[in-house]
């Protein structure tokens, strides 16, 4: 298939072309139906509205042309990365990491795929990942907390290779987005529909650090009455780059679609069983020139010598080496949607879903680390240090777990009614979430040592367990009014009613927490309720090639269903404090204002043949920011210290995003995204003993400037890209007394597709190099105390990958 430059066109389609056209290897995405100016993005769960039933796609899809970046025609900023581009960046990539090439998106991870959840961070317009909304085919994925309590990450919800598109609304998401955490934007992921032609795909990736990733997919094709399905499987195994542990696991997806004349039924299933060894961060500035902090596993005898009063262990201080640490996660996710056309003007979408998670965060390390003697002394008050060592197995080590069980299910229902020039949307979402978190300690014996891949049994200490029961009721009503041929308005509101009951069936013993006076809290029920959260938007087609958009929206974030050590009401350490917050506490809210211009036009300016782009300005006022203020700010402890849940005031954010794609004839294009963000704390706060001077300081972890680019060339069977990601200086403490320096990461990919092989529709070879210049720097930052200390995670070194894939 030859490459063609995009032809000039007005703003009539759903997306604005912002990248080169690519050859898609794999099942093509289903055709999207034409949408009003500000309806929700078309997904399997919520397809865009139409005026008459859509025609069936061709029975035998050819390899599809696909865009690198697409920009939706919305009253807000919303951009997408397609399937082909995600897999070109790196086969098997976390789809959230693929979005980091978009303006305003700052994603950090110490893993080239972006899969390690413990050291993952995401900022969009000043908000972090716990303050954004995430959905897969309309199914809510929760707030992405590492301590799992109400969802799962996109890479565990679906195999990377079956993700059809990933989109982000950087300012505020659609009213119909099923999330109670999206103070800021939303990230939506769509899985591919089954192909209408029977066939299959097979891909194998080899690479640095013994990477071995296998992906296989079988499509049934159409098998009568509008039915089609596929089953996909992926397995990944790769050695961690700084120690002898392995990451990865198995994942299975299945999808079924029935497309009738007036009805569409979709069912999807995901099973994921993954283990990700964690990367330990470097506590700064104590780390000095230390860049990585590798685990000792599997060298057991070396670990025993290290922990038993060795000079190296004593000199390491807070940067001592653990034996191992890992995140173990097993998930089952399933949904069924039913969409029905009553008429050309009335459409009804319904979805029911269920998610079960069984997870464990595990770390094995010394029993003498900061704070642990205090904890163990509460449970074994009469034992000396040497006796405690014997109690825990005689190695000087113990195994600690945080264990998670999550069962949640829900349903959504949305009516879409077209009345003249009005598109009215009325929807509701209900979810019941039951989750449990437990902290337990296990002995570590030299004759029966644990590993990062084991589920622990028979705890020596059952420190605490929290139960949470949450009922979420969310409704929305919106009218999109096409005032004239070139001008549209939309207005609406949503209501959020979230009721959480947290209890403590197992409480930590007095003295087992830090400080010794802290106790865990019996808890109770707290509601986060906002019956009216308004949204207003406008869209004006200034010319056939330029448009102006504007959006104003208020959002609320409900309280996290988590306990001790978290910024939640159930994390405080007295019942009196809990009751006081229940009566007077307020959930976090934010007003988002955004406006901008888009352009998309053909040119004849020397080699420049097409230019498209978007310029956006945004302003955010974030109120009632909640912070878990440490009651022992100068105490570094693996146990953690008791926290005071504090309303630390508001944050003001102003920023601009500018992105464009320049096309130079049929073979070359250059995409660039430049972003500026200024997020500032408006208030000082008290940590219980002193005033912390944060007013006027920059929000920690958020860079002021980011620059991304993708230089592409395409010659039919051959394609290549050079990608850059520049992150500016980030402050690492609330008081801005420390910072992490800027850095630039570059990557390279190139692929060649061979046609004409009997029984093979396409055989593709693709090479990838990540961190091309082997840059050293800090990726994710863990903002700890108010000043003087933070934790930083290293950037993964340069790595090489080769992928061989075939479509049958």
Q: What is the pLDDT of residues 220-240, one digit of tens each?
A: 999 989 999 999 999 999 998
Strand partners, 473: 430, 497
Residue 606 forms part of a structural domain: yes
Query: Residue 515, preceding bond cis, omega within 30 degrees?
Result: yes
CA diameter of the chain: 85
Has residue 597 been placed in a domain? yes
Backbone phi, psi, residue 319, to 5°: -100, 35
Residue 781 φ then ψ, to 5°: -115, 135
What does 321-353 look like in DSSP terms, one character per residue?
PPSEEEEEEEEEEEEEEEEEESSSSEEEEEEEE
* 5 found inside a domain: no
Closest of 81, 77, 73 to residue 13, by C-alpha: 73
- The C-alpha atoms of residue 637 and residue 376 are separated, in whole angstroms, by 13
The tens digit of pLDDT for each residue in 43-80 reads: 333 333 333 333 333 333 333 345 678 888 899 999 99
Contacts of 756 (CB under 8 A, 6+ apart): none
Residue 7 lies in a domain: no
Is the pLDDT higher at 567 or at 264? 264
- Asked whether the beta carbons of 652 and 591 are under 8 A apart, the reply is no
Distance CA 129, CA 335 (A): 24
Angle at the Cα of 610 from the Cα atoms of 605 and 614, rounded to 5 degrees = 120
Average pLDDT over residues 293-316: 94
Task: Name, in order, each residue with C-beta under 8 angstroms of 95's C-beta and a sequence gap of 6 or more.
Answer: 81, 86, 154, 155, 160, 163, 166, 189
Q: What is the pLDDT of residue 527?
A: 96
786 pLDDT tier (thresholds 50, 70, 90): low
- Contact residues for 606 (Cβ-Cβ < 8 A; gap 6+): none
Whole-angstrom distance, CA of residue 624 vs CA of residue 651: 9
Determine which helix (DSSP H) or strand (DSSP E) holds 656, and give its type and residue range: strand 651-664
Q: Is residue 2 part of a domain?
A: no
State pLDDT tens for residues 419-436.
Answer: 999 999 999 999 999 999
CA distance 155 to 213: 14
β-pairing, 133-136 vs 691-692, is: unpaired
Domain with 680 in it: what CATH number? Answer: 2.40.170.20
What whole-number distance in Å separates Cα of residue 102 and Cα of residue 705? 13
On whether residue 742 sits in a domain, the answer given is yes
Q: Answer whether the bond into residue 293 is a cis peptide, omega within 30°.
A: no
Pairing, β 186-191 against β 133-136: parallel
Residue 732 lies in a domain: yes
CA 7 from chain centre, in angstroms, equals 34
- Residue 123's pLDDT is 97
For residue 655, being part of any structural domain is answered with yes
Q: What is the pLDDT of residues 357-384, one digit of tens each?
A: 999 999 999 999 978 888 898 999 998 8
Q: Work out how many domains the chain is built from and give that number.
A: 1
pLDDT of residue 596 exceeding 90: yes
Residues with Cβ within 8 Å of residue 501, at least 6 apart in sequence:
468, 469, 470, 523, 524, 525
Position 631 scores a pLDDT of: 59
Judging by beta carbons within 10 Å of its beta carbon (0-12, 13-18, 19+), is residue 1 exposed, middle or buried?
middle
Split at pLDDT 50, 70, 90, the class of 632 is low
Q: Which is nearest to 268 in space by CA: 217, 214, 194, 208?
A: 194
Decide if pLDDT at 3 tops 60: no
Average pLDDT, the chain: 89
Residue 392, pLDDT score:
94
| Residue 354 token pair | 């269920």
Length of the chain: 808
Confidence of residue 500 (pLDDT cuts 50, 70, 90): very high
Residue found under tokens 């061709």:
58
- What are the beta bridge partners of residue 502? 468, 524
CA distance 404 to 424: 41
Distances (CA, A) of 532 to 65, 94, 173: 42, 35, 16
Rounded to an integer, what distance in angstroms lies between the CA atom of residue 690 and that of residue 735?
13
347-351, 359-363, 532-536, 787-791: which range is least confident on average?
Answer: 787-791
Range of the domain at 316: 15-807
Which of 153, 195, 157, 162 shows the shortest CA–CA distance to 92?
A: 162
User: Counting beta carbons within 10 angstroms of the beta carbon of residue 656, is it exposed (0 to 12), middle (13 to 18) or buried (19 or more)?
Assistant: middle
The predicted model gives 448-460 an average pLDDT of 92
């Amino acid at each position: 298939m030859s490459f063609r430059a995009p032809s000039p066109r007005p703003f009539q389609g759903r997306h604005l072309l912002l990248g080169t056209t690519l050859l898609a290897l794999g099942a093509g995405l289903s055709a999207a139906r034409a949408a009003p100016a500000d309806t929700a993005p078309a997904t399997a769960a919520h397809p865009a509205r139409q005026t008459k039933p859509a025609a069936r796609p061709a029975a035998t899809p050819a390899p599809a042309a696909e865009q690198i970046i697409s920009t939706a025609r919305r009253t807000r900023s919303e951009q997408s990365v397609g399937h082909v581009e995600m897999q070109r960046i790196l086969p098997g990539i976390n789809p959230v990491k693929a979005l980091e090439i978009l303006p305003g998106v700052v994603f950090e991870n110490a893993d080239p795929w972006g899969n390690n959840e413990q050291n993952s961070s995401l900022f969009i317009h000043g908000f972090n990942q716990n303050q954004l909304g995430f959905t897969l085919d309309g199914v809510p994925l929760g707030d992405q907390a590492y301590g799992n309590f109400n969802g799962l990450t996109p890479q565990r919800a679906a195999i990377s290779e079956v993700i059809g598109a990933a989109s982000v609304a950087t300012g505020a998401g659609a009213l119909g987005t099923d999330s109670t955490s999206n103070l800021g934007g939303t990230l939506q992921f769509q899985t591919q529909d089954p192909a209408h032609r029977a066939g299959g795909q097979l891909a194998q990736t080899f690479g640095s650090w013994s990477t071995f990733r296998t992906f296989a997919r079988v499509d049934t094709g159409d098998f009568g009455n509008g039915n089609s399905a596929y089953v996909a499987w992926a397995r990944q195994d790769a050695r961690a780059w700084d120690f002898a542990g392995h990451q990865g696991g198995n994942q299975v997806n299945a999808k079924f679609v029935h497309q009738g004349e007036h009805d569409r039924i979709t069912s999807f299933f995901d099973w994921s069983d993954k283990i990700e060894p964690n990367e330990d961060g470097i506590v700064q500035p104590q780390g000095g020139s230390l860049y990585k902090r590798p685990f000792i596993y599997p060298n057991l005898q070396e670990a025993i010598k290290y922990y038993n009063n060795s000079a190296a262990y004593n000199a390491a201080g807070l940067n001592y080496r653990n034996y191992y640490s890992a995140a173990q996660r097993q998930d089952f996710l399933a949904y069924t949607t039913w969409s029905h056309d009553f008429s050309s003007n009335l459409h009804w979408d319904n979805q029911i879903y269920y998610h079960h998670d069984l997870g464990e965060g595990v770390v094995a390390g010394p029993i003498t680390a900061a704070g642990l003697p205090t904890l163990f002394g509460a449970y074994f008050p009469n034992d000396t240090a040497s006796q405690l060592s014997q109690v825990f197995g005689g190695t000087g080590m113990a195994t600690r777990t945080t264990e998670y069980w999550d069962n949640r299910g829900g349903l959504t229902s949305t009516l879409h009614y077209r009345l003249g020039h009005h598109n009215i949307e009325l929807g509701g979402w209900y979810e019941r979430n039951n989750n449990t978190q437990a902290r337990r300690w296990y002995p570590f014996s030299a004759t029966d040592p644990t590993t990062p891949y084991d589920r622990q049994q028979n705890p020596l200490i059952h420190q605490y367990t929290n139960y949470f029961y949450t009922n979420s009721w969310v409704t929305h009503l919106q009218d999109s009014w096409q005032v004239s041929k070139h001008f549209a308005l939309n207005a609406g509101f949503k209501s959020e009613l979230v009721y959480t009951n947290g209890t403590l069936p197992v409480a930590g013993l007095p003295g087992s927490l830090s400080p010794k006076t802290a106790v865990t809290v019996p808890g109770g029920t707290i509601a986060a309720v906002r019956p009216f959260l308004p949204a207003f938007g406008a869209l004006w087609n200034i010319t056939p090639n330029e448009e102006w958009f504007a959006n104003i929206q208020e959002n609320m974030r409900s309280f996290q269903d988590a306990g001790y050590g978290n910024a939640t009401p159930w994390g405080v350490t007295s019942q009196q404090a809990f009751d006081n917050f229940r009566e007077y506490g307020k959930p976090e809210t934010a007003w988002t204002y955004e406006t901008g211009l888009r352009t998309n036009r053909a040119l004849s300016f020397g080699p420049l043949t097409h230019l498209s782009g978007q310029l956006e300005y945004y302003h955010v006022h974030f109120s009632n920011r909640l912070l878990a203020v440490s009651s022992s700010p100068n105490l570094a402890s693996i146990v953690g210290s008791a926290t005071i849940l504090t309303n630390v005031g508001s944050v003001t954010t102003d920023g601009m995003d500018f992105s464009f794609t320049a096309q130079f004839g049929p073979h070359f294009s250059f995409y660039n995204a430049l972003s500026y963000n200024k997020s500032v704390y408006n208030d000082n706060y008290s940590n219980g003993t002193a005033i912390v001077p944060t007013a006027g300081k920059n929000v920690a972890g958020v860079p002021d400037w980011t620059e991304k680019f993708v230089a592409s060339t395409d010659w039919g069977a051959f394609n290549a890209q050079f990608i850059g990601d520049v992150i500016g200086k980030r402050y690492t403490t609330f008081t801005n007394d420390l910072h992490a320096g800027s850095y630039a990461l570059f990557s390279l990919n190139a692929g060649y597709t061979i046609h004409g092989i009997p029984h093979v529709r396409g055989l593709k070879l693709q090479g990838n190099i990540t961190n091309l210049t082997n840059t050293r720097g800090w990726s994710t930052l863990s903002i700890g105390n108010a000043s003087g200390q933070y934790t930083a995670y290293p950037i993964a070194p340069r790595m090489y990958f080769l992928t061989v894939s075939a479509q049958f």
